[in-house]
Every structure is written in C-alpha cells, then in structure tokens.
Amino acid sequence: MKPMSFYRLYPSTVVPKDPDALAKWLYDKWAEKERLLDNFYKYGSFLGPGQPAPEGHKIQQDSLRYLILHLLFLTSSYVHYHIIVYLVKKNINKTNFIIKAILF
C-alpha cells in the first residue's frame, strides 16, 4: 500500500468573509471531502471510476537541509539545557543563602 494524498488550493478571494457564508462554504467542502473519500474507498481513486487521475509528482527531500535543521535543533537544545541548568543552580544557591540567613 502506498500513501495517497489529495488536496486542493483555494485562493483567498473565493473564501467568503461573512461568517454564515463561510460556515456554508466549509460545510460544502466537508461534504465534498466525504464524497471523495467514498470514491476512494469504493474504487481506489478519489475521483471515481473512469476519471483521469490528476498529475502527481514525487517529492524530493533535501538531505543537506535536513542535516542542517537537525544540527540547529541539537545545538539549540544543548544551549538551552545549559542555560536552564545555570539558572536552576543560581536560584538554588540564592535559596540556600536565604534559608541559612533566616535559620541562623
């Protein structure tokens, strides 16, 4: 089984501004989505039998981009971890000083 997706893009000019009209538009899109899913479950195609499938394309992932993003995430996590540890230690030292001053 291969993953399938089907989506449509709508320009913002076709989306109603009025709340009631927007609600009706959204309900219509929901009903359309349900019809598409029914077709997919029955026929294995979103558009139904005999309908040409839209032209698809394979998504190419950029390995260098993922490497850079992961390195950025790991570096950021490392820095934030040390900042939090520093602040906690600093706060504990202040708290101990205050407790000692109060008790003695």
CA 34 – CA 38 distance, rounded (Å): 6
Distance of CA 87 to the CA centre of its chain: 31
Domain ranges of the chain: 1-56, 60-104
The pLDDT, as a whole number, for residue 31 is 94
Contacts 24+ apart (CB under 8 A), 3-8: 4/40, 4/46, 6/36, 6/40, 6/46, 6/54
Look at residue 33 and tell me whether its pLDDT is greater than 70: yes
Q: What is the amino acid identity at position 63?
A: S
Neighbours of 44 (CB within 10 A): 9
pLDDT confidence of residue 28: 94
Q: What is the pLDDT of residue 8?
A: 82
- Please check the confidence at residue 48 and state whether its pLDDT lies above 90: no
Least confident of 22-26, 50-54, 89-93: 50-54
More confident residue, 88 or 11: 11
Amino acid at 34: E
Whether the pLDDT of residue 15 is over 70: the answer is yes
Q: φ and ψ at 62, to 5 degrees?
A: -95, 110
